[in-house]
Structure 1
Amino acid sequence: MEFKTTAHIISHSHWDREWYMPFEKHRYYLVKLMDTLIDLFEKGEDFQSFHLDGQMIILEDYFQIRPDKKELIKKLVQEKKLHIGPWYVLQDAFLTSSEANVRNMLYGLQAAKEYGVVSKVGYFPDTFGIYGQAPQLLQQANIKTAAFGRGVKPTGFNNMVSDAKTFESPYSELKWKSPDGSAVLGVLFANWYSNGNEVPVDRESAKKYWETKLADAKKYSSTPNLLFMNGCDHQPIQVDIGEAIKVAEELFPDITFVHSNFDDYMEVLQESLPEQLQTITGELRNQRTDGWSTLVNTASARIYLKQMNQKCQTLLEKVAEPLSVFSYFLGHEYPRDYLRYAWKTLMENHPHDSICGCSVDEVHREMVTRFEKVQQTASTIIEEKANEVVSHISTKQSVVDEDMIPVVVFNTSGNTRDVVIEKEVELEKVYFSDMPFSEIPDFLGSKDLPDINLVDKSGKVHVCKTKDLGTRFGYELPGDGFRRPYYARIIKLTFLAQSLPGYGYKTFYIKPAKETKLNEQPSINQCARELENEFVHLFVHENGSYTLTDKQTGKVFKNLGIYENSGDIGNEYMFRRPNGEVPLTTKDLKAEIRVVEDHSLRSVIELVHEWEIPKEADEQFQREKELIVWHKDRLSGRSSESVTIRLTTHIQLDQKAKGPSVKVTIENQAKDHRLRVLFPTNLSTNEHYADSIFEVAKRPNIPEREWDNPSFDHHQQAFVSVTDGKHGMTIANKGLHEYEILEEQQTIAVTILRSTSELGDWGLFSTPEAQCIGTYQAEWMVIPHKGTVVESEVFKEAYDFQVPVIAVQTDVHEGLLPTEKTFFSWEGKSLAISSIKLAEERDDVIARWFNTSEKETMVIAQPMQGTNSYKSTIVENVKEPFENTPIQEKVKPFEIISLGWQVKE
């Protein structure tokens, strides 16, 4: 069948919510754009449609200023003039969690439902690379097509496409497949999403314009249906596009010009596709490029933002939501509206130019406030829901005296855990109503602290450590009365909570030690530089590096934890080491070493490095920035002047821990540099594993032959792992998203700080706060293991490293629940549990897993109070009902599976 060449012109404006200007300044121009758009449609002029950038938050932002326009906007959407959805925001794909990517789709589709029509295209116009499981998520949301601007063909400076000898696909149109086999039709903006921008009306100019544009589009198109995106970043509407199309039709009568939209374009495109399209599987990370414009180093720009985001995501999806489900099982209200508010506030920080840290300083200051709002909301939900559950627990057991203090420990990670807990406990409190408040601190402080025992429900005594924290002010907010201020005598209690049930709790009791306390077990700290438990042995060297022995296998990893420092003459988007620079390291720098905590439950060694490094880049750097020299071509080096940065590292080994956890405090006074921590594995392998979105991705250690950038940095979520098949090392982290595998000794290099001075991209935008001068922290865990991170299931340890355990002090009271309980039990080899929550639009419980393995497995789940169970999509549509309980369902390799069930009244 012959198809006539058709030019599909889609009017749009890619709306970065905040970027080179802060949000409110961008919104000012957004309101102007929307007002102009409404005026065009109302006048009935020859303006057919407008694509609203795939993100629903644009409408929310507009209605805050123009609330009276909502019904008119609904009418335009239903008339298919204004095209909206499917996302809530255009978020960065790699720097937001798996669940955040799902919620972005859920809240986007939910918001679009009110308008009656949603654009069914997976729209990723400017996303800085896309995770490999995106086609599976789109298919589960019944979206069959995707459009994206990056990740496949080489897009270079100023978004110009370069002609390499080999492409992953010869066409803009391709089949994009997830590891599980799910596939969608992918359309690359090969000539960018502005290739139909500012179409001339003048005939002479229009002729030249279209001769060039048509040739450019045909170069990459596999069909006669050519796509032209009429707009760009914050582009005002071309109000005369109708007239411009008429001129084009007169000039090129053999070509049909259509003022189009994505739904219509994708429909006719699929009718004209060739029989065979190139299939691209998995991640779109610009692998087949020169590597200079991947924007991967946004993963390390303003790391403090990534750390706050990781904390917020974890609190919501791994703590607040599970506790809210537990509480709902017991008859309490599920705080759906508050959780949605918290998620949507968090997602305001998820657009690519926001969470990537590649905006002006004002943008990122506002982000910190949003993160704090989310933390406050999540923490309040966690406290209330935990207390609601505790109120149902019968803490009055036969071995319990009235003077005992129960502490309920919640594990919401979904996996059974052994965790050393630190809990601040109020031993005694005196209310202001009971005594003049000025006398209370001295009254409490004059009392001798009793020796403390910790027991479980059977009366078994557990090892615990206590520390006197003195007297502290506090208050209660009763549900039926006025606030009640008090002072309390506080201790810090440290103990091992062993075999904590997944999605459950266990109760412990504090009691005065009337008899001899439990004998202290041997210390974990063997000497001032040596830590050991049943799993690992660690020895700290004079330079602060450490040798780690896996006692399960006997494998020894030497010289871990050396710090590396490089100059950075790049920008917020891309790291650029000065030409010929040899990185500095702490290999020959002596560390101050001392023990700061030492007992059988936990030992901590402190290392202090006072490190002189160059103060900043040299004087030439400022001139290169002013001339907007592309980072690849910069020639500046580092200053000859030095400053001292102070690194205070705490290496902690807990009883039952599979490896040491490490926290470093960085007192940074230097500019224009990058700081990494190095883990030489000496494992022979050409590939490694990294946690990504619903996937433990396997990546090559060495780039493709087109790669020219000396750095080969990558994104990670919770961990990166190297293995030779027999032995492995996994580095878990909290909000450290950038790593590289160095060829020398197969070293894992994790970025813990990057200081840069400009936004970069299309102009000169100074970002002094991106230098991160001041005090910052980074946390990670080193886990040696057998085999791969998947086969050993060490991925569970790495995920759990990010999830806090919640301990609640309560009183002795009656209740219907036992002192130890699991609310939801499940099992499944190689499965990682992602979430448990209530559905957005009904009171069903939804639990979600993904298969980390290339082998089929089985999930077996036993819902509490469950009935009418079923398999669900990620957007919570019912797919297949189950007849039996417990639920038993096969899970395909790399499949994302969601199970739902109703809760019995």
Structure 2
Amino acid sequence: MKTVHLIQHTHWDREWYFTENDSKAVLYYFMEDLLQRLEDDPTLGPFVLDGQTVVIEDYLSVAPHQENRLRKLIAQGRITIGPWYTQSDFLVVGAESITRNLLLGHADCQRFGDAMPIGYVPDSFGQSAQLPMFLQQFAIDHAVIWRGWSEHNVPHSEFSWQSADGSKVTTAVLPWGYGCAKWLPDDPQHAQKTLEPILAKQTRFSLTDQVLLPNGNDQSPFEYRVPAMLDQLNQQQDQYHFVRSSFSQFFQALENSNVALPEYQGELISPKYMRIHRGIFSTRVDIKQLNARLEQTLSQHLEPLLALNWRLGLPYPQYAVDSIWREAMKSHAHDSIGGCNSDRVNAMVKNRLESGLEMAHQLIDLNMKMLAEGISARQDGKKIIIFNARPQASTGLVELTIFTPEQDFRVIDGEGNECRWQIVEEGRQDMSIIVQELSNSTETTWYRKCKLLLEVRDIPACGYQTLYLQEGVSAGFNSETELAVKLENEWLRLETDERGVLTLTDKRNQQIYHNILQLVDGGDAGDNYNYSPPFDDWLVSNEGFLVSVSGTQGSLQSSLTLNWKMAVPQDLAARNERRADAQLDVSMTITLAHSNAWLDVNISVNNTVRDHRLQVLLPTNVQQHIHFADQPFGLIERHNQPPEMALWQDEQWTEAPVALYPMQSQVMMFDTQRGLCAVTEGLREYQINENSQDTLAVTLLRSVGWLGQANMPYRPGRASGMVLPSPDSQIQGMHHFKLSVLPMNNGADKSFWRDVERARGHLHAWLATGWSRFRTNPHGRVFPPHYSVLSWDSELHFSVLKKAQHSDALVVRGWNPTAQPLPYGTVKANGKITPVTLAETALQTHHEAVPTCAPATFAITF
């Protein structure tokens, strides 16, 4: 007899085709009913509150008077909560976001009771290979998942899932979803007929006689009559024994069965039984870019700066920072960050991210102002603070914007040595917008606005250095730029012909990359969930549409700017008729710094057409069957073409497993002789086309006009979501994209990884002008002209420096981006240094080296 574990739950989307306001209104009545039913019948429960504590936060925001009732039921184990703050999509959001999600989710659970010790991920659009690692770092040994699994990954729905670093969790799949047993009849006879096909499917891949039966659905009322009905069924048949259960009880029964579980390592992105919607990686790219910018601003700038200032005696606004993270995570659910929502919801998601950036930037500005205020000047001029978030001393280039009435100026360090700079952009600025005291003036005060590239050296690790801007003084070097027709330095050469076709030469090994950075525009007949090529697509490249090429060579870098006016179809109808009745204006500026072995690429697109997708191509001419992309805290190897493409139609998969993949910010293809790597800012999708498997195609944008549509080539059958128009998802208007292109002359060696880390950039410059929109009283503290919180001699990539969540300690984190173990290196700080987990608890087992795809975290107490 099979034991069927009844799991009663709700799945709570905060927003989708409805808004979070709609959701809160429904949640009020749902929770009122749930609490009352559980109180009236003490035999009911446990009830799973979707594994995310934001549901509690939302409910108490509209019913704060019910907190004690809720607390009592949680304490009794009748309602199980956590471990997450929100149910995120793990293939799109960043590693620090996933970490904070568990950290803040556990903090909420500690306020209300114990966290459910299950990595419950019921609806992520695919599963990250890193999920076991994240869970183990928070002492969670079990996971329950849905989308992304099939028997082609592992033959059974229960298995031991291992991350590349060796972390393992016992995993159970809900092969037919969290709603497979929703809305069961109250009558045992009717229920038995309903359950027969459900249980036949549920047990199809089960390894043991222990079976999960999830009873609940999206925002559905508590089916409180189901347990009693199943008790009656127990008396009427002997094929199944139904028990009122929990995920923890299920895993205990699974363990007691003493069955050896199959093992699996890797991601789960198979759409055989349920769609994973591969198009969400590029849907609403404006939202993806905002989210990436906010994640980077928080973890790579704001938190390290606050940590530094805290060590200098300034306050650390922990709750303000947590608030920004929480608002960001409310935008991280699979629908929210996927952009597969109504236009109204996408606008709310975007607003949350923009609001988070506003607050983060204001905190940065205020803290830089307070830092500069405490530094005693060693030279004349305005102080420039160069802040280095990384735990290694840094030398390189940093951007700085200055406003000055003078034609001449120079920048010097504390010893009077001059720093080189280059003006990369210049204009005029109405200073009444900048200086509050001028806002009521009857006359406009105009200054030069100069965006500088500044060369800096030996900026202290996790610290700062003070430079000085002296106006009205000539620079001691030639700051003029000259015209250029190609880009060249010690390592690379980039040339263009009269058509704008670019050729890159790696001078280190004389490898040549022809037609690099080509732009290709194609049709998109899909929706917010999935990219879908038209049945007969018409691809248009930028070749033949060049309008102008200009180049400059300066003291620090050289650049080429190419402008195209691409004749493209206005929409799908025009594309079907091969009618180029619209124009796509595209500008690309490629920069080669004299000190860097990579290209920085800025692309601007005025998107005035619809139903299309624009990609930039990186032809590698590498004859390999695999490539690599980054994932949260690591690297993943993928096939250029998934082998399942040969069988998906015969097996009637829900969606084609096309080579349309997610990344955090990096994708690369290489062999021992050559290769290319792209490091992007907020671009989360790339593709490898079946007909050009040596080419990386990075998606810049895609424009669609529907939330859901039916019968697409890559996704046959029903529409996903709702068949609703979403004209805002055509994302009309100006868009700006950034990526760096790194040629690989010796594979993924140490030099390459150092360049990847440098290309991401961790230097920040701030000019102390004395102007401010907001005034604060002087803090009265005195700071040194240069300072370092700590240093870490390590090859690991930097993730964050922050104050510990629950103690007066600092936390510094790096991660291994490579495919091999790396040494930890040495952390040096004026305090006690302790290895800790992502949960910021003492690490019980310490490897001799940092495994691949693993973070390394240290806490420093003073």
Normalised by the length of structure 2, the TM-score is: 0.91
Deviations along 1:687-744, one digit per CA (max 9) or x if unpaired, are 1111111112121212124455484110011211111123331111111000013352
Pick aligned residue for 2:639 from 694, 700, 703: 700
Asked whether the equivalents of residues 312 and 783 of structure 2 are also in contact (C-alpha less than 8 Å), the reply is: no
Q: Structure 1 764/802 Cα, relative in aligned 2: closer, same or farther at 3 Å?
A: farther
Unaligned runs of 5+ in 2: 649-655, 709-719, 771-777
Counterpart position of 2:793: 827
Other-structure match for 1:333 = 315
Separation in structure 2 between the aligned mates of residue 802 and residue 484 of structure 1, nearest angstrom: 39
Deviation for aligned residue 1:203? 3.7
1:759 paired residue among 698, 704, 707? 707
Q: Which residue of 1 aligns with 2:857?
A: 898
Partner of 2:382: 405
Inter-partner Cα distance in structure 2 for 1:353 and 1:296: 13
Q: Does 1:464 align with 2:464?
A: no
Q: Any residues of structure 2 matched to 1:413-428 within 5 Å, and which? A: 413-427=390-404
Counterpart of 2:811 (choices 824, 846, 856) is 846
Shift in CA distance, 421/48, structure 1 to aligned 2, threshold 3 Å:
closer
- Render the CA deviation track for 1:614-645: whole Å, top value 9, x for unaligned: 222239xxxxxxxxxxxxxxxx9567462212
Q: State the alpha-carbon separation in 2 of the partners of residues 206 and 387 from structure 1.
A: 67
Q: Distance in 2 between matches of 1:411 and 1:291?
A: 47
Q: What is the 5 A alignment of 1:713-732?
A: 713-732=660-679
Q: Partner of 2:533 in structure 1?
A: 577
Alignment partner of 1:857 is 2:822: yes
Residues 483-513 of structure 1: CA deviation (Å, up to 9, x unaligned): 9999684542623224434422232222256
Alpha-carbon distance in structure 1 between the residues aligned to 2:632 and 2:547: 38
Would the aligned equivalents of 2:153 and 2:268 in 1 still touch at CA under 8 Å?
A: no
SS for the counterpart of 1:208 is helix
> For residue 343 of structure 2, what is the aligned residue in structure 1?
361
- Is residue 284 from structure 1 mapped to residue 223 from structure 2 by the alignment? no
- Letter in structure 2 aligned against 1:666: V
**1:218 aligned residue:** 203
1:688 aligns with 2:653: no
Instruction: After TM superposition, list the pairs within 5 Å mapping 1:342-381 onto structure 2.
Output: 342-381=324-363
**Residue 489 (structure 2) aligns with:** 533
Residue 192 of structure 2: which of 207, 218, 242 is its match?
207
SS in 1 for 2:331: coil
Residue 575 of structure 1: how far off its partner (Å):
0.9
| RMSD across aligned positions (CA) | 2.8
450, 463, 487: which one aligns with 1:504: 463
309, 312, 330: which is aligned to 2:291? 309
Per the TM alignment, residue 411 of structure 1 is displaced from its structure 2 partner at its CA by 2.0
The partner residue of 1:26 within 3, 23, 27 is: 23
> Does the Cα contact within 8 Å between 2:50 and 2:81 map onto a contact in 1?
yes
Contact 1:824 1:864 in 2 (8 A): yes
Unpaired segments of 5 or more residues in structure 1? 154-165, 428-444, 620-635, 883-887
Give, in angstroms, the shift of residue 273 of structure 1.
4.7
Q: How big is each residue's C-alpha offset from its partner over 1:672-700, in whole Å with a ceiling of 9 and x where there is no partner?
A: 11110111111222211111111121212
Equivalent-residue separation in structure 2 for 1:573 and 1:415 (angstroms): 42
Q: In 1, Cα distance between the equivalents of 2:288 and 2:57?
A: 25
Other structure's SS at 1:473 match: helix
Q: Distance in 2 between matches of 1:710 and 1:120?
A: 32
Distance 1:594 1:350 in 2: 41
Q: Give the counterpart letter for 1:279 in structure 2.
A: E
Q: Deviations over 1:155-193 (max 9, x none)?
A: xxxxxxxxxxx6222211011000011100011111221
- Report SS of the residue matched to 1:765: coil
| Alignment-mate amino acid for residue 247 of structure 1 | Q
1:593 to 540, 549, 565: 549
Equivalent positions of 1:647-662 (< 5 A) are 647-662=586-601
Partner of 1:618: 573
Moved more, 702-711 or 546-555: 702-711
Kindly indicate whether residue 412 of structure 2 is the aligned counterpart of residue 455 of structure 1: yes
Contact persistence 1:719–1:730 (CA under 8 A): yes
Task: Name the aligned partner's letter for residue 857 of structure 1.
Answer: L
Aligned 1:241-256 pairs, distance under 5 A: 241-253=226-238, 255-256=240-241
Matched residues in 1 for 2:480 and 2:327: separation?
A: 48
Match of 1:622 in 2: none
Q: 2:5 aligns with which of 8, 13, 26?
A: 8
Say if 2:223 is the partner of 1:238. Answer: yes
Would the alpha carbon gap of residues 582 and 133 (structure 1) be closer, same or farther in structure 2, given more than 3 Å must change?
same
What's the CA shift for 1:818? 4.6
Q: Contact conserved, 1:353 with 1:359, CA < 8 A, in 2?
A: yes
On the 8 A contact 1:561/1:679 being kept in 2, the answer is: yes
Residues 1:637 and 1:415: Cα distance change in structure 2 (over 3 Å):
farther
| 1:222–1:273 CA contact under 8 A, matched in 2 | no
Q: Which residue of 2 aligns with 1:184?
A: 169
- Tell me how many residue pairs correspond in the alignment: 829
Return the alpha-carbon distance in structure 2 between the equivalents of residues 17 and 713 of structure 1.
27
Post-superposition shift, 1:745? Answer: 6.2
Q: What does residue 161 of structure 1 align with? A: none
For 2:547 and 2:258, locate their aligned partners in 1 and report how far apart those are by CA, in whole Å. Answer: 64
- 1:871 maps onto 2:835 in alignment: yes
How far has the Cα of 1:457 moved from its partner? 2.4
Question: Aligned AA for 2:835?
Answer: K
Q: Given the superposition, is the C-alpha separation of residues 471 and 637 from structure 1 closer, same or farther in structure 2, using an over 3 Å criterion?
A: closer
Q: Secondary structure at the match of 1:792?
A: helix
TM-superposed CA distance for 1:582, in Å, is 4.5
Q: Tell me which of 124, 127, 132 is aligned to 2:129.
A: 132
Q: 1:777 to 1:810 in 2, by over 3 A?
A: closer
Q: How far is the alpha carbon of 1:15 from its aligned partner?
A: 1.0
Q: What is the Cα deviation at residue 785 of structure 1?
A: 2.9
Instruction: Quote how far apart the aligned CAs of 1:243 are.
Output: 3.1
Which residue matches 2:715?
none
Letter in 2 for 1:870: T
Residues 119 and 688 of structure 1: CA distance in aligned 2, closer, same or farther (over 3 Å): same
1:228/1:796 Cα in 2 relative to 1: closer, same or farther (>3 Å)? farther
Conserved in 1, the CA contact under 8 Å of 2:536 and 2:576? no
Displacement of 1:14 in angstroms is: 1.0
How far apart, CA to CA, are the structure 1 residues paired with 2:815 and 2:312? 28
Partner Cα distance (1:893, 1:102) in 2 = 18
SS at the partner of 1:123? strand
CA drift of 1:543 comes to: 3.4
Query: Secondary structure at the residue paired with 1:557?
Result: strand
**1:492 maps to 2:450:** yes
Question: Cα gap change, 1:144/1:385 in structure 2, threshold over 3 Å: closer, same or farther?
Answer: same
- TM-score by length of structure 1 reads 0.86
2:385–2:767 contact (8 Å) kept in structure 1: yes
2:739 is aligned to: 780
**1:323 paired to 2:323:** no
2:573 alignment partner, SS class: coil
* Closer/same/farther in 2, CA of residues 804 and 571 from structure 1, 3 Å limit: farther
CA contact (8 A) 1:321 1:837 kept: yes
8 Å Cα contact 1:409-1:806 kept in structure 2: yes
Partner AA of 1:736 in structure 2? L
Q: Do the aligned partners of residues 215 and 889 (structure 1) sit closer, same or farther apart at CA in structure 2, a change above 3 Å counting?
A: closer
Contact 1:543 1:586 in 2 (8 A): no
Q: CA 1:739 to 1:78, structure 2 compared with 1: closer, same or farther past 3 Å?
A: same
Contact 1:606 1:650 in 2 (8 A): yes
Q: Structure 1 stretch 752-761 or stretch 191-200: which is displaced more?
A: 191-200
- 1:426 CA drift (Å): 4.5
Q: Which moved more, 1:23-32 or 1:143-152?
A: 23-32
Other-structure match for 2:713: none
In structure 2, what is the Cα distance between the partners aligned to 1:272 and 1:637?
59
